[in-house]
Structure 1
């Protein structure tokens, strides 16, 4: 299993809405994430900096490269764009984190 961690940024005043939207995540988006092999996906929020930290596992991280082309992914990004820092295509500004320690 390969692991990936990254950070994104929430706009001020939107932590409750961000959590709400993820509690109501679309079943078709969950299905897509499972189709590319994503497991153990978590997002944590640092309330002081509004930094979101994501962590996921997948058999092959390269399979995630297909996600930006998927219509449901584009719809989700557009849905989330009003509460997050985003790129021109509505994808979240996301910065990969470098692994430095792992305890199995």
Structure 2
């Protein structure tokens, strides 16, 4: 399993809405994440900076990269674009974090 972590930025005042939308995560989005090898997915918020920290375990980098091009993923990006920093294609501005320690 590959451990991935990343950070994104949430707009001021959007923390409750972000959490609400994720608590209602569409079943087809959950299915896509699993279909493309994603497991044990968590997102954390630093409320002082509005920085979101994501953690996911994936089976294969190539397989996971292909999930970005699915229709459901594009729909989710469009849905979330009004509450966070995004790129021109509405994908979230996301910065991978370098792993420096892990203990099972």
**Shorter-chain TM-score range:** over 0.9
Inter-partner Cα distance in structure 2 for 1:61 and 1:6: 14
The alignment of Structure 1 onto Structure 2 pairs a total of residues equal to 104
RMSD: 0.6
Q: Which runs of 4+ in 1 moved over 3 A?
A: none
Displacement of 1:44 after TM fit?
0.1
Residues 55-78 of structure 1: CA distance to partner in whole angstroms, max 9, x if unpaired? Answer: 000121221111221110000000
- What TM-score do the two structures reach when normalised by structure 1? 0.98
Displacement of 1:37 after TM fit?
1.1
- Counterpart of 1:75? 75
- What TM-score do the two structures reach when normalised by structure 2? 0.98
- Aligned residue runs from structure 1 range 10-25, under 5 A: 10-25=10-25
- Counterpart of 1:4? 4
- Counterpart of 2:31? 31
